Chain A
Amino acid sequence: NAGVMQNPRHLVRRRGQEARLRCSPMKGHSHVYWYRQLPEEGLKFMVYLQKENIIDESGMPKERFSAEFPKEGPSILRIQQVVRGDSAAYFCASSPGDRGPSNQPQHFGDGTRLSIL
């Protein structure tokens, strides 16, 4: 089991461009979570998704950020018109979800380091 796979590991964008971050959960996991870690800070929850559904997006900025987890393929975190303040490490985690998310430890990917020039 390869674990949670995120790509790319590093992403550089200029201000105003779009950033797409991908996350493939562990095999058998149907719940995906995205977290953001700004420099010198802890991880902050952004969004929780199940296949084709956004369950909790209370941590997502209201504008420019969106997330999806389609029936087929990886989960995508999309940031439109990036700004310098979007520079951060973005981590994805997954869990099986068959007993409810609060009972399932989350397994993390290596993260994507986004740098905005």
Chain B
Amino acid sequence: AQRVTQPEKLLSVFKGAPVELKCNYSYSGSPELFWYVQYSRQRLQLLLRHISRESIKGFTADLNKGETSFHLKKPFAQEEDSAMYYCALSSGSRLTFGEGTQLTVNP
């Protein structure tokens, strides 16, 4: 069975500091991984997916199959990055979500 783990429920950094939100997964097949973000009072929205290898809003995430990780990184955090971040794994018809990490970027 697939599983996604986000070990940190809360993460607080200062503006301009690097940030890394951790995500580990377990899945027997070839995974497709996503990061979703939910800003305050907004709906869940797709931030990035590993197959596109894009950088969105300065965030990147690299799939490491050896470590079964898909950590989300940004070199210089901004206050507007404060939000709830969910890592998710797609297996056919469903997304399996981690429990989320609440990121707070302090001024």
Contact = CB atoms under 8 A, between A and B. Distances in A.
28 contacts: A33-B93, A33-B94, A42-B4, A42-B6, A42-B97, A42-B98, A42-B100, A43-B97, A45-B94, A45-B95, A45-B96, A48-B94, A55-B93, A56-B92, A56-B93, A56-B94, A59-B94, A91-B44, A101-B93, A102-B90, A102-B91, A105-B34, A105-B49, A107-B45, A107-B46, A108-B44, A109-B43, A110-B43
B99 A41 contact: yes
Interface string B35-49: 010000001111001
Interface in A44-80: 44-45, 48, 55-56, 59
Interface residues of B, number: 22
Interface string B11-52: 000000000000000000000101010000001111001000
Task: Specify the main secondary structure of chain B where it touches its partner.
Answer: strand
B70 interface: no
Interface of B: 4, 6, 32, 34, 36, 43-46, 49, 86, 90-100
